[in-house]
Structure 1
Amino acid sequence: MRLQNASLPEVINRIGDFLFIFRTRARFKKSKIFISDSLIPSADVDHLQLPEFRYPGNDSRLQSLLSGETFTLNGNKREIIAFEDRTRGRFSCDIPVSQNSIDIRMVWEPARLQHLTILLLYLRDHNYQSDSGDFRETAKDFLTPHPTPLPSGEERKRKDESLCRGEGRKNDKSLSNGYKTDSFMQNIGEFVRNSLLDWLDKNPFLSGPHYFSAMECGLRIPVFFYALKILDNLDDLERQRILTSIYQHAWWISRRLSLYSSLGNHTVCECIGLVFAGAVFRSAPEGIAWLNRGIELLQQELFHQILEDGGPAEQSLNYHRFVLDLYWLAADFLEKNRLYDCPAWKPRLLQGETFLQAFCDDQGNFPTLGDSDDGWAIAPGIRPLRGSPFCIKLQKIQPPIQANSEAIKNQVSWETLPSSGYTIIRDKSGLILTFDHGPLGMAPLYGHGHADALSINLRVNGRTILVDPGTYRYNGFPEFRRYFKGTRAHNTVAIDGQDQAAQQTGFIWSHPFRAHLVRTCPIDKGLIIEGSHNGYERLKDPVTHSRIVSFLEGRHLLIRDTFSGTGTHFFELNFHLHPEAIIGAEKEWWVIQYGEARVFMRLFSGGSFTLIKGQEIPPLGWFSPAYGTKLKSRVLNCTLSGSVRNIQFLTAICIDSPGEDDFLLEMANLL
């Protein structure tokens, strides 16, 4: 499927990649050294500055990390370690990764070493210095052979266990009182040093699962750099070893870049690695080449992956946050070290921040539209310096206000984001409704997009009532991967049990739909928005789906779904409710209570709703609050069969109290 969408240059590139892997595999099996230390050029770390970070310190998190916690995306840590043990020693590109295997994203997460980033930044912020003094020496000395052998992995493991038990810091005061002794800080430094060197022991270059993805290599390089800048308990040989790993990672990335149909957030991660490695080895031709290539691709992808309205080409809000933070990290690092001026990047990045704000509530939360793997650019809870505080407010999210008299009179605001294809409606009482009339994702494979055309999400009084289902996981349960990205998992209409586009694999779609906004029309006491999509025109008897969403005075919503085309079909309307919501019934109305939010829903035409929860075959009624986790949730479901011209759904959604039938039907006649 990927090759069917490939251009001639991409085919040539993939043939070259295949031959490179073939040759590299042969060298790996013969245990030939790829890059000897003697060939690695001089590095310069001392003259480079760290980027700036925003990090709210957390003592409980610190203690958990020192007790051995790593980030696993809710995966089973024992299963991850067992998989690593089974694949240790194998050439990374030969390790099978499929939809039915262990979730490889969970395996990769702890190997990003972001748990060590948190500890490193804690040391930096507390002016850490080891007992042994400052080992940071000149760049040329980093590569000088050291006569003292490195501690073995077992020795470091025993030392870590001692630190976790508290030995060696008996005179330290408790962590909870906020007082950190020098001894305690030194123990953290030893823990980070030992953990990092132990990871390198267990993961020799190109061996095991953690070199399969160049993206993962790109995210590790900054951690190695932070360690070199912050740890002062590394001897020359240990520093040389980390520098060697940076060089090897960058060498691998530069030959395995995600290009052509694979362009996406992976490419940005890889460029981050090239930028940091290129800066470290900037005195050598290969370092300059890495730095320039990273900057060049970041410049290119800035205007490819961030659309004109600031939205994500991949149609994923969480990946958008991830990509924006990677760009801010790169820009800050490059400018602080006078490697490249990034003023041309800032307007697009600020537009991206403004885009995300349009979806946010007053706590800064936004819906999980599209795929999300809960990844962080730097580490959980840590973000880079995002733009100028004079350009954009990041502490207090301000909802967008549409400048027109109707909006002000009715205390309703809305904003349409035309490139990414969303309209967001708000009122002064905290209602937020999003209406999706955008594309499937980033062409040509649409990897992280969901088939959610004309879906809505509704948040009332700080509670999400109509939810996007989330992602759950990428591997291990292919039927749930298909479900969570499919049409039936979203608040829209599925026809003949099919998705609005055709799923080919967990990350490849064919027959992408085209959705568009037909009209946005302010009315005397509200707003009408209409969109349509052609995803079902690929059926033997084609169907076009149109949806009108109207916001009326009294906080009432009417949604009319109509269809045009030919033939007889099976139509399924779903509205997915938050799993913590309490569902009841009052006369013809379904009543949804969640915290202070109270919402009434019913169908005026198109039959009546039934309630479904946690159905296994086929999946329906599931919600994923975080990667690797799924919960049973309730769905208001209505199904009809019939001729296209005879089918429509008219749904009423009323906030706080049910609307009068006569009023709602009168307004429905105006749609």
Structure 2
Amino acid sequence: MSNKTSLKWYFNRLAAMSLGEIVLRLKRTITEPFVTKAIINEKLPYSSEEILASANTLIGCYPVDPCKIEISDSYLKEIITNADNVCEGKIILFNNNIILDNPVNWFRDYAHNINCPKKNANRINYRKPELVGDVMFIWWLNRHQHLMPAAIAYFITGNQKYADVVINQLQSWLDDCPFPLGPAWLTGIEAGVRMITWSWIFRFLFAKGKPNNCSNDFLNKWFVSIRQHVRFIDTHWAKYSSANNHIIAEAVGVLAAVDTWPRLFPEKNYKEICRGILKNETHEQISIDGVDKEQSTSYHAFVLELLINASVYDNSLKKYLKKTIENMTRFLNALSGEKGFVPDIGDSDFAVASGLIPRSNSYYYYVAAAACSMERNSDIKHVPLISQPNEWYCRNKPVNKKHDKSVYFENGGYAVWKNVLPSGVKVNLCMLLSNLGYGQIAAHGHADALSFTLQINDEPVLIDPGTYAYHNQKKWRNYFKGTRAHNTLVINGLDQADIKGPFLWANKYYVHVDYVVMNKDQFIIKAEHDGYYRDEMVLTHRRELSWHPLLKKWILKDELIGNGNYDAELLFHVHPDRKVVREHSNTFRIIGTDYNLIIKFSAHFQCRVAHGEVNPPLGWFSPVLGEKIPSPTIVAKGNVIGFDNIFTEFVIEKTES
């Protein structure tokens, strides 16, 4: 980021702050040296032996002897394989196979072979990847969630080598990254997630007694660092425009620490503070029908797993959060097909709350399963056989609920239509009817108003292309969060809102829903957004999508309300595993398993298929942050005038396998 660009970003960021936030940030800047000195000088209130003696080593919601917990053979095999890889220094970060140094270099972006300078956190400009690497890789490494399989393997087998690798790496981190040194101390969310991870690692290591290689010197350093983490979070809560999933993670992290090591924090009632924060933030950030207002399915699942952890740590919160968890699970299950695919709407950074449930294609399913078990958990007297990762939190049968019905999340801004067509083809269509993101800066929202995704026979067909980049690669960050990367209409090549930074929007649009009718035989949605009602344009985009059972087709009508002449571009992004064939000048066939989807555009539009284009970007799919692969995007482009209607037809044909 050049100095000019940096100054422009700071100006735009300042413009998005309220007076209260500006005052808070100034106050923190002035007091930061004194706060930092106090945190550096943290001391233990009791001896490490006393703190250890009172520590909580219960596993999840199971108030039983840990020795009675059993694990299935298949899951044990998976855990041992992953734990052995950790012992050999082999881990996976964002789908990258990483070989760690011994000892681990906690300042290294192993994926791009760049070392971050060993500076205090407040002197690190993580927005300069050429100097520090991709900070996401460093942050995720410093969350220590890669150590979870080894901690679980030690708990199950008692094999000392697994405890050794965990304790040795933690000792290395404590030596190399004391507060406030390094990117691990840049933000409160990193400290919060690390606290959750450490809480579970500690419980697995100490549930059956103190590991042989655990010295008092190690415990002293670890416990001091835990106090420093909590003190750091308590003096740096994410507030105002930054108060999104970050403050929830921070509060759950503090809750994890005080529940696991209660004698570490005698001077302040942190549990009550965290209860207040979590009650307030879930009320503010989660719609009453259970949708995370950041408009990101990935962060929705992440926050849901955070709230599951909060329920494990605090029984009174468990009762309070019960309905929120139930509603959030309902939304996640509504989006999901039977094979567990959930479209990554909005930003996705592959975050997980604890490391118990690894980030994989099954993450959404396992989080929903854990939440469903929490709903039914009352007073568990025994532990069933643990056979999948979500069951460390809790297990009651049945572990998951299927939601095969259509659901309109009116407050959250999503309409999900699930149906079986007369031909026997299964359809899962999700239309986005939400405003842009959450809060003043809408950090993790994408400009995707009135876009929709489509699964057929549980295969993703029309998709949200993902995220790919966060803090670097401005061109690609802007593309993946911009309107052209979504299944909607683009006017004059503009996004529906103005991008002012990687996590900063201005002139945000609002969506108005005229009506939604969804049942087995009917599907019709009509809504509009004002994203092009700005600058010199006075234009509203109205979209109506309807299913016509007699014609056996969907008809999409895009209407432009306003005067003037405009360049319109209609885009449909197709999953890379599907094949796109052009049949006529304006007709395309998408070939899937046992079905074809035929899309027919208006005759006056010029149509083509984009695939892996670079300047400007188009035709890409990002399965995980930092990875992109070419995928087909069907593009229809033409000139339209105000009050013009654009019609597009969709027909699904059943085929033989």
TM-score (norm 2): 0.82
Distance in 1 separating the partners of 2:46 and 2:96: 39
How many percent of aligned residue pairs carry the same amino acid?
26
Q: Is the 8 A contact 1:276 1:291 kept in 2?
A: no
Match of 1:12 in 2: 23
Match of 1:613 in 2: 611
Alignment of 1:364-375 (within 5 A): 364-375=340-351
**AA in 1 matched with 2:220:** Q
Which runs of no fewer than 5 residues in structure 2 stay unpaired?
1-11, 63-70, 100-107, 206-210, 359-365, 379-395
Match of 1:197 in 2: 171
Give the one of 205, 208, 216 matched to 1:236: 216
Residues 289-329 of structure 1: per-residue CA shift (max 9 Å, x gap): 33322221111111112111100111011101110111111
Give the one of 641, 648, 654 matched to 2:651: 654
Report the alpha carbon displacement of residue 494 of structure 1 after superposing the two structures with TM: 1.0
Alignment of 1:216-365 (within 5 A): 216-231=190-205, 232-233=211-212, 234-280=214-260, 282-283=262-263, 288-335=268-315, 340-365=316-341
1:508 matches 2:504: yes
Tell me the SS of whatever aligns to 1:548.
Answer: strand
Match of 2:146 in 1: 115
Report the alpha carbon displacement of residue 5 of structure 1 after superposing the two structures with TM: 3.2
1:48 matches 2:56: yes
Taking a change above 3 Å as real, the CA distance of residues 95 and 627 of structure 1, as seen in their structure-2 partners, is same
Q: Is the 8 A contact 1:581 1:594 kept in 2?
A: yes
| More displaced stretch, 628-637 vs 56-65 | 56-65
Distance in 2 separating the partners of 1:211 and 1:84: 21
Report the alpha carbon displacement of residue 644 of structure 1 after superposing the two structures with TM: 1.9
**AA in 1 matched with 2:28:** D
Alignment of 1:624-663 (within 5 A): 624-645=622-643, 647-656=644-653
Q: Is the 8 A contact 2:467 2:477 kept in 1?
A: yes
Distance in 2 separating the partners of 1:363 and 1:107: 32
Match of 1:163 in 2: none
Larger gyration radius, structure 1 or structure 2: 1
Tell me the SS of whatever aligns to 1:599.
Answer: strand
Residues 606-664 of structure 1: per-residue CA shift (max 9 Å, x gap): 4242111111111111110112110111111111224223x432111111169xxxxxx
Match of 1:124 in 2: 155
Tell me the SS of whatever aligns to 2:627.
Answer: coil
Taking a change above 3 Å as real, the CA distance of residues 656 and 446 of structure 1, as seen in their structure-2 partners, is same
| More displaced stretch, 351-360 vs 584-593 | 584-593
Give the one of 92, 95, 107 matched to 2:121: 92
Match of 1:569 in 2: 566
Tell me the SS of whatever aligns to 1:89.
Answer: coil
Taking a change above 3 Å as real, the CA distance of residues 585 and 283 of structure 1, as seen in their structure-2 partners, is closer
Distance in 1 separating the partners of 2:129 and 2:110: 18
Query: What is the number of residues matched between the two proteins?
Result: 580
1:422 matches 2:414: yes
Taking a change above 3 Å as real, the CA distance of residues 217 and 555 of structure 1, as seen in their structure-2 partners, is farther
Residues 331-356 of structure 1: per-residue CA shift (max 9 Å, x gap): 11222xxxx45312111111111111
**AA in 2 matched with 1:98:** R
Match of 1:63 in 2: 84
**AA in 1 matched with 2:539:** V
Taking a change above 3 Å as real, the CA distance of residues 85 and 610 of structure 1, as seen in their structure-2 partners, is closer
| More displaced stretch, 491-500 vs 585-594 | 585-594
Distance in 2 separating the partners of 1:379 and 1:612: 38
Q: Is the 8 A contact 2:92 2:98 kept in 1?
A: no
Q: Is the 8 A contact 2:341 2:460 kept in 1?
A: no
Match of 1:158 in 2: none
**AA in 1 matched with 2:94:** L
Distance in 2 separating the partners of 1:230 and 1:9: 43
Residues 123-165 of structure 1: per-residue CA shift (max 9 Å, x gap): 2234x2xxxxxxxxxxxxxxxxxxxxxxxxxxxxxxxxxxxxx
Taking a change above 3 Å as real, the CA distance of residues 82 and 483 of structure 1, as seen in their structure-2 partners, is closer
Residues 523-559 of structure 1: per-residue CA shift (max 9 Å, x gap): 9964321111001001302110011111122652111
**AA in 1 matched with 2:136:** R
Residues 38-79 of structure 1: per-residue CA shift (max 9 Å, x gap): 798963564424342899441432332222123422468586
Distance in 1 separating the partners of 2:267 and 2:144: 23
Match of 1:136 in 2: none
Report the alpha carbon displacement of residue 381 of structure 1 after superposing the two structures with TM: 3.0
Which runs of no fewer than 5 residues in structure 1 stay unpaired?
129-184, 402-413, 659-671
Report the alpha carbon displacement of residue 3 of structure 1 after superposing the two structures with TM: 3.0
Give the one of 440, 455, 462 matched to 2:458: 462
Distance in 1 separating the partners of 2:520 and 2:376: 38
**AA in 1 matched with 2:259:** A
Tell me the SS of whatever aligns to 2:648.
Answer: strand
**AA in 2 matched with 1:215:** I
Alignment of 1:570-585 (within 5 A): 570-585=567-582
Q: Is the 8 A contact 2:189 2:249 kept in 1?
A: yes
1:398 matches 2:396: no
Q: Is the 8 A contact 2:150 2:165 kept in 1?
A: no
1:536 matches 2:541: no
Taking a change above 3 Å as real, the CA distance of residues 502 and 51 of structure 1, as seen in their structure-2 partners, is farther
Report the alpha carbon displacement of residue 89 of structure 1 after superposing the two structures with TM: 3.4
Tell me the SS of whatever aligns to 1:536.
Answer: coil
Distance in 2 separating the partners of 1:525 and 1:9: 51
Taking a change above 3 Å as real, the CA distance of residues 282 and 36 of structure 1, as seen in their structure-2 partners, is closer
Distance in 1 separating the partners of 2:604 and 2:429: 23
**AA in 1 matched with 2:13:** R
Distance in 2 separating the partners of 1:536 and 1:352: 32
Distance in 1 separating the partners of 2:192 and 2:275: 14
Report the alpha carbon displacement of residue 35 of structure 1 after superposing the two structures with TM: 2.3
**AA in 2 matched with 1:318:** S
Report the alpha carbon displacement of residue 81 of structure 1 after superposing the two structures with TM: 4.6
Taking a change above 3 Å as real, the CA distance of residues 481 and 40 of structure 1, as seen in their structure-2 partners, is farther
Distance in 2 separating the partners of 1:534 and 1:615: 29
**AA in 1 matched with 2:538:** P
Q: Is the 8 A contact 2:417 2:518 kept in 1?
A: no
Taking a change above 3 Å as real, the CA distance of residues 270 and 396 of structure 1, as seen in their structure-2 partners, is closer
Alignment of 1:25-174 (within 5 A): 33-36=40-43, 43=51, 46-52=54-60, 56-57=75-76, 58=78, 59-74=80-95, 80-81=109-110, 86-98=115-127, 101=130, 102-126=133-157, 128=158
Distance in 2 separating the partners of 1:69 and 1:8: 48
Taking a change above 3 Å as real, the CA distance of residues 278 and 52 of structure 1, as seen in their structure-2 partners, is closer
Taking a change above 3 Å as real, the CA distance of residues 112 and 551 of structure 1, as seen in their structure-2 partners, is same
Report the alpha carbon displacement of residue 378 of structure 1 after superposing the two structures with TM: 1.4
